[in-house]
Structure 1
Amino acid sequence: MNPTFNDQVYAILSQIPVGTVTSYGEIAKLAGHPSHARQVARVLKTLPPNTKLPWHRVLNSRHHIALPLGSPSGQEQRQRLLNEGATVDGARVSFPSRS
């Protein structure tokens, strides 16, 4: 049985390590559907609030938080990234280089 697109997204999402981020487009590409970045965003939007999947490590293609920064979800994403050592300048996210 072939995994669904959602299952593929969940599997890829579960493998994003602490201290790194990826984009909706990269997840879509890894799932075999390179033109489905918006669908990845829809999948993440439907995750339950208590999910253990690291949805907060997924950004837009410019490495910006795509959620409105004033929204509860945008604030949660920002705080989770800060807790993992990210620098968040407005919506732009970066991590220190690893040696």
Structure 2
Amino acid sequence: MDFRELERKVVAFRDARDWKRYHTPKNLAISAAVELGELLEHFQWETDEDIMNYVKDQEAKEAVADEIADVIIYLTLLAHELEIDLDEAVERKLRKNEEKYPVRGD
């Protein structure tokens, strides 16, 4: 699934429930931040090794995946409302990063 298809699905889900009126850019940005905070709760005070062991449990991994999905859903809706093409934006940002951080030979 590409970002355009994801956007279509997320917007259709939202519109079927008449939630658009709540999905202002400010509210969507806040919601993405809240969901990111919920994701971070799974990792707070843990080492990287603890986290990798934690997600070996399928229920824990699904809970983390759900939080990541929530963040992506809100950011997709935010991009939709701001008329930002995510495919284009990500490609452009990757190009900028390639220029800013070139691969260095050893």
Q: Normalised by the shorter chain, which TM-score bucket? A: 0.3 to 0.5
Identify the structure with bigger relative contact order (alpha carbons < 8 Å, sequence gap 6+).
2
Q: Identify, as 1 or 2, the structure richer in helix.
A: 2
Question: Normalising by structure 2, what TM-score?
Answer: 0.31
Max Rg structure: 2
Question: Normalising by structure 1, what TM-score?
Answer: 0.32
Q: Identify, as 1 or 2, the structure richer in strand.
A: 1
